[in-house]
Every structure is written in structure tokens, then in C-alpha cells.
Structure 1
Amino acid sequence: MLQTWNRYAFIRFVLFLIPGIISGVFAAEYFPLICWLFCTLSIAYLIFQFFRGARFSIPHSVVSGIIAFIVCFSFGFLNTYWQAEKHQNRHLLNIDSEEILAFRSTLISAVKPTDKTYGFKADVSQIKLPSGWKKAEGKLLLYLEKDTTTSIFQYGDEVLIRGKLTELTEPRNPEEFNYKRFSGFNRVYHQQYVLQENICLIDRNRGNIIVAASIKTRKFLEKQVEKYIQDARSLAIAKALTLGIKEELDNDLRNAYAAAGAMHVLAVSGLHVGIIFIIVSIVLKKWRYHKKGRFFFALISLLTLWFYAFITGLSPSVLRAATMFSFIILAQTARRRTNIYNTLAASAFVLLCYNPYLIFSVGFQLSYLAVAGIVFFQPKIYHLLQFKYTLADKVWQITCVSIAAQLVTAPLGLLYFHQFPTYFFLSNLVVIPGAVVILNGTLLVLLFSFIPIVASALGFLLDYIIRFVNLLVFGLDIFPGSIIDGVYITTIEAWLIYFLIACLALLIAEKRYFYMKAAFLCTLLLSTSMISRQWTNFKEKSFIVYDVKRNSALSLRVGFNQFLSVSDSLSKDPDKLRFHIYPSQLKAGIASFHPDRFQPDTLPLFKKWNNIELAIWQGKTIACLKEQSPSEITLKEKVQVDQLLVSNSSVSNFDEIKRIVHPKKIIVDASNSYFTIQNLKASFEEENIDFYIVDEKGAFELNIN
């Protein structure tokens, strides 16, 4: 067993490197201690190795191994800390953004056009303060006003921008996607919308020469594809699948492929690099296993993979996949006594040393899990059935690959996307062969683009192939139960599912009773966690006013039942419902709500009287002012309310409120105009009223025990 484990050296390194990386992100304050630990134990390890003889005791070996793994953990911590940049004094996070008058930066990404802006990632080099120009560092997202002036900007341009920097904000609603943390993992902490009169070009070609050439090449190839594929959707699929350009994919396409469990086809990654590798392997089959020809095969394979990465713009997902396959090719060529798992771990180790923040990338996680799952489970599933005919056997092979990949990626799919495609094994029978044909077809169109008549014929044929694949993918969506959505699990529960999968895998491989007991324990802990979470949801009583710009939305929830009221415009916008409201509904276990099938409540909890909506809920009196109340209303005694919600700029000061109601707390939601909010705020402060501004503080939450 020990000798077997020794074959997995890089797996052990990665298992200790990853906790070090995570600690470096979330516990950076321990940097001095970890730095001292790394230096001390590195010297100790070298001493151990220097005095180690040909034979040494097991305790000596164990101590040496423990020291080595702690050194690996410490290296992961320190490497992450040093690459974070934000710990430097001149980083943008450590400078008061209110004092910044202008900044100088270099555009370090290809342009991402939207309906209203051109988006870039930029690297700041200098900032202008009232005291003068000062060196600075930090990355940010720039959104340039879309017009003919800003259309000239491209990767590598150095620009001067007048204006302050805006730091990315925390989520505004409960359980909302944390874009600030997501961008922080990419070491981006600021963003700025720039009008065309506030930006000017200083210099060009200040970026990486290779990256610039790659982006220009992809742009040229994009134009060639546009010439020969006419249908908009077919063109979007061809660009996304071959060149990694996903901006033109519409929501219907994305949703259909996601529901079919085939979204991975639309993002250039391991699947596409794997297809390229398979093509090269077939073409150079006689060289691959030849004693001297294998070096030629390796050289051509590596050149082909990295050339493909080059024409796709050197995107991170393709670079990851190319690195992974490069390690596999080199290991096979060297014919070292290793295994695929150790090779995968070696590539992951190198990538994480280069960029430790990759561990937080969903693409990185899914890529390595999918490959590891296919390598381990596919042969075992494949041998469960045998087919006489070649076609049936090929169908079974693809099905086994789909099952193996889905088995190990499903927990992450539930954690991040809250859904599971039930017909993934059918969709992959279509999209995987389809991806092979579309990828090769698009490459042929590009190859023969200098012969217009041939490229046009290939483009015409490819157009209808893509339409046929799309038709089949959309067809799966009409099947009953095509997708299980609305599933919520916590990070701990996802880990428990993976521990369960690992225990079952080891049970299959080792056939030891211990792993069955471990699997049972994981199942017990997972069930306990889910039951405990649902019991907590069942007992909760909450009042939430959501922060959705220019809209009103409130929720009154008791256990798994709720009253949800939203403005008309928001009720017809599933994208906003999905982003701002759906996450909290998922966590609370509200099965009746779905953004794509939302219907306003027909039996309102609030009763309307003279444009005032009133409700008695859990012993609390809640009032809503959504429209202006008639000025002639006079009451002998003011209505006593616990919470008053003001929406739609229905009042402009406290005087208009106090003639009707006497609230204990006033909540001003995000549907009010900026001037109304400022007027109300000043009025409340003057009257010493307890108030809450949703537009400034985010969603209002009140939990009742």
C-alpha cells in the first residue's frame, strides 16, 4: 500500500498546497508566522535529507514527510500572499479612492462589447492625487461608453482616464451572487464606467506581444467565419465552440444547452482541446507508439495544442486544458513509471504555483474533476455491458463518458448552478459528436477561406449541421422533467457528497469494508445536515425588502410559505428575479417560486385603503405607501404601524406620512428616485425618526423569533 501511495507524489503535494492557498486568501494576517515556519522547516528538511543514510528508521521518514508537507502548505500560503498584490502599500485598495482625480492604465484583455459599453480589464500604473502623480498598482474593470470614439481602443493600449475609481460592492440582497469576491479571486477590486470625453489614448502596443498577436489572430479568424456562416445562431455556436467567443450566444441558446447538460460544449475548454488531441492521435497513429516516432508525435501534438490555444485568444480555460494535455503527452512520451492521476496532479500543481487563485475557478474545478472521473469510472462502467455491434459499442462508450463526468461534477453543479440535467446521457450523444463535426468543420472553413467557393460550400453545410444539433438540443427541453432545478446545498454538503463518492470509488478499487463504513458515515452526516437546515428554514419567520434598482420587492415568509410582492416591471424580468431574489428563495426552501414561472400572488396579504396597504403579520402591523394618498384624508387618531414601506416616490417628506400613520420604523426601498430618497433622509434625520434606506444599505431583513 505504501509503495502504491508513493506513486502519487504530486497528488500529496496538491492536497497540501490547496489548503495553503485557501489559508493565504482568508487568513492573510498570519503571514509573519507562516513565513517564519516556511524558512525554519525548509532548513530542517534540508538537514534531514543531508544526514539521511541509505537506511533510516520509519519515524525519521515520517517526520521528514510531515515537514515536507508543511513546507508545501506554507509555500501555497506565501505564494498566494505575494501574488495577491493588495497587501502592497501602493495598491488601489490601500488608497482613498475619493482623492483620485485621474489614473493611467493599460488595457490587458480583449474587448468585450455589450449593448451599451466596451468592456476591458485594465492594469493601473499611476494615479493623480491632489498632491500630484503617484505610482500605484491594481487591476480594474473598465466600461467605456459605446461610440465611434471608444471603438478604437484595443488590447495593449495605454490610456489616461479622468475620474474616481469605484470599489466593487458586497452583495445587496441575501444569498445574492458575490461578484466582489468572484472578481477578487481574479485580483480585480474596482470598476469604472468612463464617458468618451474622459478618456484619451497615450500609447499603443504596451501589452504582451504574444497575447496581442493571439487576439489579433482570433479577430481575423472571426471575420473569416462571419463571411461563410449566415445564420446568427449557427454563427454564434461556431464562434463559441471553435474560437471561444461567447458574447453572441443568446439566453435561449444558453438555457437550452444548460438544461440539456451540454453547456460545456459552448465554452472552449478540455473537451475541445481533447478533440484536437484525438484528431492528431488518429492522423499520427503509426508514430505514437513507435520507439523513435513518439518524440515526433509529442512535438507535433504539443505544437498543435498550443497553436489552437493561440488562435482562441489564449483564454484561461484553454491554457488550463492545454497544460493538462501537455503533461499527459510528455509523461507518455517519456514512458516514466507514473499514472494518469499523478500526471493530472502535476499539471494542477504547476498551474496553481503559477496562479494560486485558479483553485477558486469553477472551470478549473470542473475540468480536473471531469477528467479524473472519466479516467476512474468510465472503464468500470463500460465493462458492465458488452455490445456485439460497433455502433452500439460507440454509443455505449460516449454514454459511459457522460455518466462518469456527470457523477463527479454533479455536486459542483448543484452547489453553483442549483440544477441537474436528467437527460445528459442523451444530449451528449448528440452534442459530443456534434462538437467534433462543428469544430472540425469550422477549422476547415478557416483553412479553405482563401478559396471562397470551397469555404462557402463548407459554411453552407456547417450551417445546417449546427441547426440540426440545436434542434435536437432544444427538443430535449420539451421532455418531461428535462431538468431538476431549485436544488440548494451548502459547501459542507457538497464536500460530504464528494467524500461519499471518494469512499465508494475506493470501495470499488480496494474492496475494503472500511470504505463502506466511511461511506455510511458520510451519508449520515449529509442527511443530518440537510434535515437540520430544513428544520431551521421551517421555524424561520422573516420580512425582507429587496434591493432591486428602480423596483420594489418585499417578502413575508413563515417556514416554507411566503407572500411575495414585486413591481410589475420586475415580475416580467426573469433575469433580475433570478439574480436578486431567487438565491434567498432557494436557501429558504421556497419551492413555489421560480423566476421563469413567476406569477404574482392572487390573494394579497395587504388590504388597500385610500392608497395605503395594510397587513397584520405575526403580530406586526406593516403598511406600504406605493401611491400618493389623498390630501383630504384626516384621521382622529393616527394608525400605529411597526414597519412602514415607502415605494415609488409616493411621498417626499415626513409631513406627508405623519398625518396618516405613526410608524416605529420607516423603510425606503430602491424604487424611489435619488432626490426623493435624499429629501426623505433629511426629513427623517430632522424628526429623529428610525429609518432604513435600502438603496444605501442593501436589502432590509427582519427575523422574528
Structure 2
Amino acid sequence: MNPRHIPFLRLFLPWALGIIAGAWLNQPIPGLGIGLVLSGFVLLAMVRQKFAYRFRWVFGVLVTTTLLGAGYWHVVVHDERQQSDHFSRICPQAEMFCGTVYDSPSKGATLKVPLRLHAAGRADETLQACSGHVLLFVEITPKSEQLHYGDRLWVRAPIRAVQPLKNPHAFDYRRYLHFQNIHFQAFVKASSFEVRATGFGQPLWRAAYRWRDQLLEMLRTHFPERDAYAVASALLLGYKEDLSDELRASYADTGSMHALAVSGMHVGLLYVALLYVLNRIPGRGPARRWAETGFVLLGIWTFTFVTGATPSVLRASVMFTAFILGKAIRRQASVWNILGASAFLLLLFNPYLLFEAGFQLSYSAVAGIVFFYPQFQKITPPLPKWAVEGWKILLIGVAAQLGTLPLSLYYFHQFPVYFWLAGWVVVLGGAVFLWGGFLLIILHALAPGISDGLGWCLFQLIRWMNHTIQAIQQLPGSVLSGIWLEACAAILLTLLIWLLPWAITIKKPKPLLAALGLLTLFSGTYAMQKFGQLQQKKLILYHTSRHILFDSFAGEKRFSWTDSLNYRQEQFAAQTHRWASGIRESVVLETGFKNPYLFWQPPYLQFFEKKLAVVGRQPRANDRAGPPVTVDVLILHGNPNIYIDECLQRFPCTLVVFAASNSKRRVERWKADCRAQNIAFYDVGEKGAWELVLPN
């Protein structure tokens, strides 16, 4: 790969590093904007001059520095909170506001409605013009289900900052929303909002969402079963709101979730279908070539907007656009250069895309295919003709899996063992369905009678795909879960995966030594992580509403107790932290449990040398009466109607911990009592999980 053939990839790297630095520091640098403008003028002047060859590095250094600074500046100013008219600056205690729905609402336990504010205030008469985004959690009613993109709302509800992470290693929802440029939220009752007007927003997006809703309605008529409809709408339109948790798990555990996110495969199949139609229309010459180019681009970008313009489909559409335009002007560009150019342009539009898992996985998969697939082809023995296409699908799947392996382990902590088997199902079945789905859309409008027959065939195809994927999920050892990879280890593994095959291919000692050095670092990082897990001694009280859950970790053993928390809630609160702690053996504590380092006899818990008292919703008789028992920590949970004074008389301690299952009003009363007696306290509901770490 000649560096001269990949200028955009070389420009993308400092640009992306600048964005990463800006997002990490998130602090404006005074004078940076002026410096970038001056740097731009200097670069323009240098382009017009001829320098000696030995000074060529000066221009390169200046370009790199400018791109680093530009990336930093771009991501900092992209943050909505940097705007001078942001509502948090003008009216930080806003309880009444007006705004426009700027994205399609999504349904869960509540309806999530992203709102772009135009005015906010404490009351109607004090509304002030402002900007900013708020995520509304709206009570689901027939009224709220009628909300659409472009609706202008009047809302009465207090705006609150998005809460930080409450449990260690859990999904950081605040970080996720930050990279959606949302930092505030409001919980809205059905009676607390009104639709004042409709039809606002971008006309292109309004049309795209309207078309999507019409197509979803069409799919409902042809796919009567919920799971079949959910997969059909995800495959054809990228709409995943109706996927059940069980179906998501089946596709995720088999490494097939990418098929349900509209991506390069979908755009590529659409491109092939459009070319198939155009090649049957007679005509030649430049006019025909450009008309064909325009028609294909129109089809691809219409599909892109109807499916919601997700990062994966945007990447694919930009890449195909560059490829198609290059073909039209009879020029072929390097795939690596197209990758760099498309990523550069997308980050110019939205720098936060760089931190989305979908964006990273999409580009990693394509890069893996471009890099590894040709290497696999070179070592493939001659095959019979009937096996060639199936073998290609297998190699492409393995190449994509290699490219995304570090990210998949880092984000999802599991590896689908039978991804190669499921790949044949979703690629072949998905291709047939997509081509059939495009035809179904046309026939549904022109020949409804014929479309019913095609719809029935596609319905049976989707049912077969779902049953096959679920059968693969049930195979022994179908998924390796609980794999924990820290960010540093993920970076080292990424470098190792790319460098080692390249070093072996070019057969030069220096790259091979570098790869071996990376392998040593990666092994050392893993060894240090494992050593820390073997030596750990800690107790953690998780943030769980209305219930209590705590874990005691001793090496690779875990001892847990909860009052009545169901399995799903327990997994949500604690599973990722347990994986991060390297647990291999788990024990559920029962009354009277005792071993050399833990004793549990409610309300008493002793963990190594630390003594705790755990007092709950219905205190036992000996929780209130009896001789004082000195403990290190007193934990109150379940909102017991007791006073701190009587607790301290029974359990003298130096720290009181309030679990998240207590009411805020009662916790505030307890805090006041603790302050009066000069007793330290910790509020799990406010600060998140409480952790007690003992020295080794």
C-alpha cells in the first residue's frame, strides 16, 4: 500500500486524534480558532511556493498539527452546552419549555422523545428564547403515541441533568447520551404536554419518516407474526424497535446482529439490484453513463434516509458514492482512501460519531475484509465450483470477525463461536429477502394480488431464518461470555491483530519484532489484571431501587445476597462488574453461612476483619433491642421506619450507608441526624454503588 495512494487516510488519522483529545479534555483552548485560521493561510501560501526537498517535512508537520487542532476545536464547539444561548445558561431551573421533535420517538417502558428547545422558563410569561436538547420520557398513552418527527411541543416538567453511572462497569447511559449531544432529561406525564403545531423540521427527514411508517404498515400486513415482522422491518428498513429481548439475544449470541442493522451488505445488495435493472435498458454513451450514475445514487441515498441514516449505512453510502462517481469518470481509487475519505466527511458532519460503537464496528469490519480477505484467498486451495461462493462468504465473515474482534470483546464481552455458520444463514437468506423485499414494495403498490403471494414466501423465509438462528444459539458452547477486556488491552490486541499478519506477509524482521513486543505487552497486561483479581478483597453494595444487592469478592470467588431482586434486575446491576472482577465461583449467601473469611447471620455480616450490620424494611426484634454490638458499617435498606439514634445505640459505628431502596425524604432525615452526631454517611441513591476495598 503506497502512502501516496491514501491521502485521505493519512489526513484522517490526525483529524481523529484531535477529536479524541477534544472529547477527552472537553475544554475550549483560548485563541485556537484564530490559530487555525492563521495556520490555514500559511498552508495556502506554502502550497504556492516551491521548497527544497529536505524541507518537505515542514509542510507535513504543519498539516498534521493543523488537523489535530481542527479536530480538537470541532468536537469542543459541537457540544451543545458551549452555545451562549443554551437553556442551562439562560434558565437553569426551567420547568416549562417549547421545542421541536428532531428525531423519531422510540418506545420502551416510556416513549423517548428527543426535543430541540426554542424557549424555556419557570412559567409561560417568563419564557426566553434559547437552544439545547432535552430527552423526554413521556408516559405512553394514545395521545403520546401520535407524536412524530417535526411536531412542536409545549411541555410542563422540570428539566434535570442526566444522572451519572450508578454501578461500576455498567452501561454508562450519560456517556451514551453525551455522544448523542443530549445532557438533560425530563419525565413528562400525558397531561403535561401539548402538540402546538406539526410539520416542522427538515422536509427531507419528514418525507423519509413518513415513507418508513408507510413501509412498516405494509410489512405488518404481510408478516403477521411479531418476530417475523420485527426481523423483516430490521432487515429491510433498519427499524429494530419491535425486536423482542429473546430474538435480540439469539442474533447477538450467533454473531448475526449486524444483519439487523442496515449496513454495507444492504447497500451493496441494493446496488447490485439497481445495476441488474439498468443493464436491461438499452443505451450507450456518456449520457447513459451519467443517467445511470444519478439513478443509482438516488436509489442508494433514498434508502439511506428511509432507514434512518445510521452510521453503518452512512459509511456504506458514502463509500459507494465515491466508488460510483469514480466509475463514472473512469477512475479507480484505493479502498483505503475511500474509507478514510468517508470517515473524514462523516466526522466533519458529526464528530461524536467516532465514539459510537456502530461507527467503530462498521469501519473495523470493512477494514478487516479489505486487509484479511485477500490474504485468506492466497492460501485457499483449489475448490470445486459448487463450494466457491460458500467459501467466499465464510472467508468474508472470518475477515470481518477478525477486524472487529477487539471491539466486540470490549463492548459486548462475548464471542459467538458459530458466527461462521450463522453467517451463511443471514447472508444468503438476507440477500434473498432484501431483493424480494425491494420487489415486494413495488408490487404492493402496483399489483397487490401478486404481492400477497410474494409476501407469504418472504414470511416463510424469515420464519426459517429465525428458527435456524435460534437452533444455532442452542448448540453446545455457542457463545463464550464473560470475557473482560480493558481499553488498554483492547488497543494492544487491535494493533497485534493488524501488525502480526502484515509482518508475516512482508517477511521482514523489524515488524515481526514489533508484533512480538505487542504480544508481550498484551500478555503482561492480562497477567497484571489476573493477579489483581486473585488478590482482591472487596464488598460492594449496588444501586438497586426498592431492593438490596451486595457482593463480597475474595479472589475469584463471589458471595452474594439480595432480598427479592429478580434475575434480570440483578444481571443489569451487577453482571458486568462481576465479569470485570474475573469471578469463576459464585455462592448465594444463606442464613448462617460461614467460612474462614465470611460470616452471614442477619443482620450481621463479617467480611475478613470488617463487621457490618444490615438493617432492612422489617427490623428483627434483636435489631432494635439487646446489648450494643460495635460494627464498622451500618447499612440501612428497604426504607425502615427507624431513627438513627436507636440504630447507633444498638450498632455503634463510624459509617452509615443508605441503600438506594430508601425514600429520599427518609434519607434526608437520616443525614441530618448523622450530621448532628458527627457520623459519616454514604447515600447510594445519590452517589451510586458503595464499595469497601480491603488491603491485601
What range is the shorter-chain TM-score in? over 0.9
8 Å CA contact retained: 1:288, 1:294 = no
Within 5 Å, give how 1:308-347 maps onto structure 2. 308-336=303-331, 338-347=333-342
Q: What is the aligned partner in structure 2 of residue 29 from structure 1?
A: 27
- Structure 2 gaps of 5+ residues are none
Q: What is the aligned partner in structure 2 of residue 604 from structure 1?
A: 593
Within 5 Å, give how 1:573-584 maps onto structure 2. 573-574=567-568, 576-584=569-577
Q: What is the aligned partner in structure 2 of residue 418 from structure 1?
A: 413
> Among 7, 10, 17, which residue is 1:9 paired with?
7
Q: Give the drift of 1:202.
A: 2.0
8 Å CA contact retained: 2:443, 2:450 = yes
CA offset digits 1:439-481 (Å, max 9, x no partner): 2222232222243332222222212111111111111112221
Q: What is the aligned partner in structure 2 of residue 551 from structure 1?
A: 547
- Structure 1 gaps of 5+ residues are none
Structure 1 window deviating more from structure 2 (461-470 vs 396-405): it is 461-470
> Among 479, 487, 492, which residue is 1:491 paired with?
487
> Among 446, 454, 459, which residue is 2:455 paired with?
459
The residue type paired with residue 528 of structure 1 is G
Q: Residue 700 in 1 paired to residue 690 in 2? A: yes
The residue type paired with residue 548 of structure 1 is T
8 Å CA contact retained: 1:328, 1:344 = no
The residue type paired with residue 479 of structure 2 is I
In 2, the alpha carbon distance for the partners of 1:529 and 1:96 equals 48
Q: Give the drift of 1:544.
A: 1.0
Structure 1 window deviating more from structure 2 (289-298 vs 635-644): it is 289-298
Q: What is the aligned partner in structure 1 of residue 528 from structure 2?
A: 532
CA offset digits 1:522-548 (Å, max 9, x no partner): 101111111112222222221211101
Q: What is the aligned partner in structure 1 of residue 643 from structure 2?
A: 653
The residue type paired with residue 21 of structure 1 is I
In 1, the alpha carbon distance for the partners of 2:537 and 2:472 equals 39
Q: Give the drift of 1:353.
A: 1.0
The residue type paired with residue 448 of structure 2 is P
Where 2:655 maps in the other structure, the secondary structure is strand
Q: What is the aligned partner in structure 2 of residue 106 from structure 1?
A: 100
Where 1:180 maps in the other structure, the secondary structure is helix
8 Å CA contact retained: 2:15, 2:71 = yes
Label 1:249 to 1:288 Cα distance change in 2 as closer, same or farther (>3 A): farther
Structure 1 window deviating more from structure 2 (630-639 vs 216-225): it is 630-639
Q: Give the drift of 1:559.
A: 2.1
Label 1:627 to 1:189 Cα distance change in 2 as closer, same or farther (>3 A): closer
Instruction: Please give the TM-score of this superposition, normalised by the length of structure 2.
Output: 0.93
In 2, the alpha carbon distance for the partners of 1:631 and 1:339 equals 77
Structure 1 window deviating more from structure 2 (290-299 vs 131-140): it is 290-299
Seq. identity, %: 29
Q: Residue 260 in 1 paired to residue 254 in 2? A: yes
8 Å CA contact retained: 2:157, 2:187 = no
Within 5 Å, give how 1:120-519 maps onto structure 2. 120-129=113-122, 132-284=126-278, 292=286, 294-336=289-331, 338-450=333-445, 451-508=447-504, 510-519=506-515
8 Å CA contact retained: 1:273, 1:322 = yes
Q: Give the drift of 1:592.
A: 3.6
CA offset digits 1:57-81 (Å, max 9, x no partner): 2332111111111112222122222
Where 1:103 maps in the other structure, the secondary structure is strand
8 Å CA contact retained: 1:287, 1:296 = no
Label 1:377 to 1:601 Cα distance change in 2 as closer, same or farther (>3 A): farther
RMSD (CA atoms): 2.5
Q: Give the drift of 1:331.
A: 2.4
The residue type paired with residue 36 of structure 2 is F
Label 1:561 to 1:592 Cα distance change in 2 as closer, same or farther (>3 A): closer
In 2, the alpha carbon distance for the partners of 1:289 and 1:323 equals 27
Q: Give the drift of 1:107.
A: 0.4
In 1, the alpha carbon distance for the partners of 2:264 and 2:585 equals 37
Label 1:601 to 1:497 Cα distance change in 2 as closer, same or farther (>3 A): farther
8 Å CA contact retained: 1:382, 1:396 = no
Q: Give the drift of 1:286.
A: 8.1
Label 1:15 to 1:360 Cα distance change in 2 as closer, same or farther (>3 A): same
The residue type paired with residue 593 of structure 2 is P
Where 1:215 maps in the other structure, the secondary structure is helix
CA offset digits 1:550-590 (Å, max 9, x no partner): 1101112122222111232x2x332x333321121122111
Label 1:634 to 1:375 Cα distance change in 2 as closer, same or farther (>3 A): closer
In 2, the alpha carbon distance for the partners of 1:590 and 1:431 equals 34
Label 1:29 to 1:365 Cα distance change in 2 as closer, same or farther (>3 A): same
Q: Give the drift of 1:19.
A: 0.8
CA offset digits 1:161-218 (Å, max 9, x no partner): 1122111111011122211111111111111111122111222211111100110111
In 2, the alpha carbon distance for the partners of 1:28 and 1:554 equals 35
Label 1:413 to 1:479 Cα distance change in 2 as closer, same or farther (>3 A): same
Where 1:79 maps in the other structure, the secondary structure is helix
8 Å CA contact retained: 1:331, 1:343 = no
Label 1:607 to 1:69 Cα distance change in 2 as closer, same or farther (>3 A): closer
Structure 1 window deviating more from structure 2 (130-139 vs 472-481): it is 130-139
In 2, the alpha carbon distance for the partners of 1:129 and 1:59 equals 65
In 1, the alpha carbon distance for the partners of 2:617 and 2:186 equals 35
Q: What is the aligned partner in structure 2 of residue 80 from structure 1?
A: 75
Label 1:335 to 1:624 Cα distance change in 2 as closer, same or farther (>3 A): same
Label 1:62 to 1:286 Cα distance change in 2 as closer, same or farther (>3 A): farther
Q: What is the aligned partner in structure 2 of residue 683 from structure 1?
A: 673
The residue type paired with residue 654 of structure 2 is K
Q: Give the drift of 1:487.
A: 0.7
8 Å CA contact retained: 2:624, 2:647 = no
Structure 1 window deviating more from structure 2 (219-228 vs 308-317): it is 308-317
8 Å CA contact retained: 1:17, 1:75 = yes
Q: Give the drift of 1:24.
A: 2.0
The residue type paired with residue 33 of structure 2 is C
The residue type paired with residue 333 of structure 2 is T
Q: Give the drift of 1:702.
A: 1.6
In 2, the alpha carbon distance for the partners of 1:607 and 1:517 equals 52
The residue type paired with residue 130 of structure 2 is A
In 2, the alpha carbon distance for the partners of 1:390 and 1:289 equals 34
In 2, the alpha carbon distance for the partners of 1:63 and 1:635 equals 80
Q: Give the drift of 1:285.
A: 5.5
In 1, the alpha carbon distance for the partners of 2:540 and 2:357 equals 30
Label 1:362 to 1:635 Cα distance change in 2 as closer, same or farther (>3 A): closer
**Aligned residues, how many?**
689
CA offset digits 1:12-63 (Å, max 9, x no partner): 10011001111222224352253344234323322322221xxx42332111
Structure 1 window deviating more from structure 2 (386-395 vs 223-232): it is 386-395
Label 1:632 to 1:18 Cα distance change in 2 as closer, same or farther (>3 A): closer
Where 2:17 maps in the other structure, the secondary structure is helix
Label 1:288 to 1:417 Cα distance change in 2 as closer, same or farther (>3 A): farther
Label 1:46 to 1:603 Cα distance change in 2 as closer, same or farther (>3 A): farther
In 1, the alpha carbon distance for the partners of 2:304 and 2:624 equals 73
8 Å CA contact retained: 2:541, 2:550 = yes
In 1, the alpha carbon distance for the partners of 2:513 and 2:329 equals 40
Where 2:61 maps in the other structure, the secondary structure is helix
8 Å CA contact retained: 2:120, 2:129 = yes
8 Å CA contact retained: 2:410, 2:487 = yes
Where 2:169 maps in the other structure, the secondary structure is coil
Q: Give the drift of 1:288.
A: 13
